[in-house]
A and B are shown apart, each in its own frame.
Chain A
Amino acid sequence: MIVFADVNYVEGTLVMIAKSLIIFLFVLQVVPLILLLERKLLGRFQARLGPNRVGPFGLLQPLADVLKLLSKEKFTPATAVPWMMAMAPAISIFTAVVTLAIVPFGDVRHHALFGASYGLYGIDVSIGILWAFAFGALAFYGLMLGGWASGSKYSFLGAMRSAAQLISYEVSLALSLLGVVITAGSLSLTEIVAKQDHIWYVLPQIVGFFIFIVAAFAETNRPPFDLPEADAEIVAGYNTEFGGMRFGSFFMAEYINMVAIAGIATAMFLGGWHGPGPGSLGPIWVLVKMFLFVVLFIWIRATLPRLRYDQLMAFGWKILLPLATLNALVTAILVAA
């Protein structure tokens, strides 16, 4: 068997620090862009223009939003636990960024500029996709703490909803990716991408892909599964009592999560850096696929109304979970046979 990617390629500490800085900078750049993209596209989907007043074509709109958030008061209700309220957005951001670290943008390759070989990903952990699940499970503490520590009823309801929703859909998400893991015979994202050089796993694992998309929407709290922050019923759920940049951090974490899920989908199902053209185009292909996935997120948001809570639960446990289990089972049997 030809090894396409050098799995668990160990790099120096300095390189790791540089990579984490790059990831953080990437996140800081990409979130305002997605924010603008979402507002613009949402407008177009609703036959509107979207924001176009701040700067040319409204390009400075995210900057204006951030400035507004920064200048706002940090309000803490009398019933809240202040230090927990301060911690919750930090947990959310942290888990989201860490998940992004395992998304591979390219193979390990020799760079003439630096005179050494570097992999174009944050880290290549041997447990691979389990890393994403581990931090996905931790992310729930951000929402839960935020909602509970606010000491308000709406926040508490939102936190409860997010707890139930994340736990229900985490299982389906993991099971939907299990099919890919079994087919590839590896947990490492770089190796899974390297195995997709003739056929992307979206074709043999089409059922898993659809289950993954649905579960991913629920995991990122995006419409139609945005029950934790359902504006119409519970005001804004877990972030009702958050103001200023604390709210901004929650907001940012949601978008980083979206990018991270898009990255995982790209690596697991859409062939990662594979695409027509020379190998050096790899990172571009990853970005293009992630971009299309984010557009899908926005398109769905513009289309589907929010689910009722019992529908969400029934759908997760009665339809999605059995389907995902069946998919994993059938894949396992086919691979073993």
Chain B
Amino acid sequence: MTWKPSQDVIEVQRGPDPGGLGGAYRAFGETLRGLRTTFGRLVEGPVTMEYPENKTPVYPRFRGRHKLHRFEDTGLEKCVGCSLCAAACPAECIRVVAAENTPDNQVSAGERYAAVYEINMTRCIFCGYCELACPFDAITMGNDYELADYTRSDLIFTKEMLLADPVERTPLRREGE
């Protein structure tokens, strides 16, 4: 039903009366239509993705487990321990303790580095604000979403775990897929 602004009264169109012989005839017809619909699904076959064996690919911008990065050429950590990610985090799940770089212990490219970098995955809401806040692109969101574990303490990810090459468990969706 289309309504024009010039119309004062909206005419309501109702369906046919459900009772009576006509109603019974229509109900029978609709039943057959429903049976045809379900039979169509039987013919088409299942659309199930059998999860642990086959995984639905994620989009490139999917926000999964975090990754910390190093410079590829020097191998130094990108993170300088500025704690901007911790400040941006709405769930307050990031803990950063910074320390000074010394000439014989040069960990990051800047003056300071993160001596402790922990993300509490039980609290993280995967909003990606840490990634946005980071001035050096040191932390990004990865693709991995299989984070289940048995104890809560196992879900506090340390710097070593975040810096390690991530296990590529999740297939990535190609462009335009």
Contacts and interface: CB of A to CB of B under 8 A. Distances in A.
Given A44-B42, A45-B42, A319-B24, A299 B47 contact: no
Contacts of A303: 31, 34-35, 37-38
A46 B40 CA distance: 10
A47 interface: yes
A44 B47 CA distance: 9
Interface in B64-82: none
A300 B35 contact: yes
Contacts of B6: none
A303 B48 CA distance: 19
Interface string B23-60: 01000000100110111011011111010000000000
Q: How large is the interface on A (under 10, 10 to 19, 20 to 34, 35 or more residues)?
A: 10 to 19
Tell which of A43, A44, A48, A300 has the most Cβ of chain B within 10 Å. Answer: A44
A299 B40 CA distance: 12
Contacts of B48: 47-49
A48 B31 CA distance: 22
A45 B41 contact: yes
Nearest to A224: B31
Nearest to A311: B18
A48 B38 CA distance: 12
Contacts of A47: 41, 44-48
Interface of A: 41, 43-49, 299-300, 302-304, 319
Given A44-B46, A47-B47, A48-B48, A299 B24 contact: no
Given A47-B45, A319-B24, A299 B50 contact: no
B41 A299 contact: no
A337 to B, nearest CB: 27
A48 B37 contact: no
A45 B46 CA distance: 9
B50 A304 contact: no
Contacts of A299: 35, 38-39
Per CB-CB distance, the 9 closest pairs between chain A and chain B, nearest first, are: A303-B34, A45-B38, A49-B48, A47-B41, A303-B38, A49-B46, A302-B38, A44-B42, A47-B47
A45 B47 CA distance: 11
Nearest to B42: A44
Contacts of B37: 303
Contacts of B44: 47
B20 to A, nearest CB: 10
18 contacts: A41-B42, A43-B46, A44-B41, A45-B38, A45-B41, A45-B42, A46-B41, A47-B41, A47-B45, A47-B48, A48-B46, A48-B48, A299-B38, A299-B39, A303-B31, A303-B34, A303-B37, A319-B24
Contacts of B45: 44, 47
B41 A304 contact: no
B45 to A, nearest CB: 7
Nearest to A50: B46
A124 to B, nearest CB: 36
B42 to A, nearest CB: 5
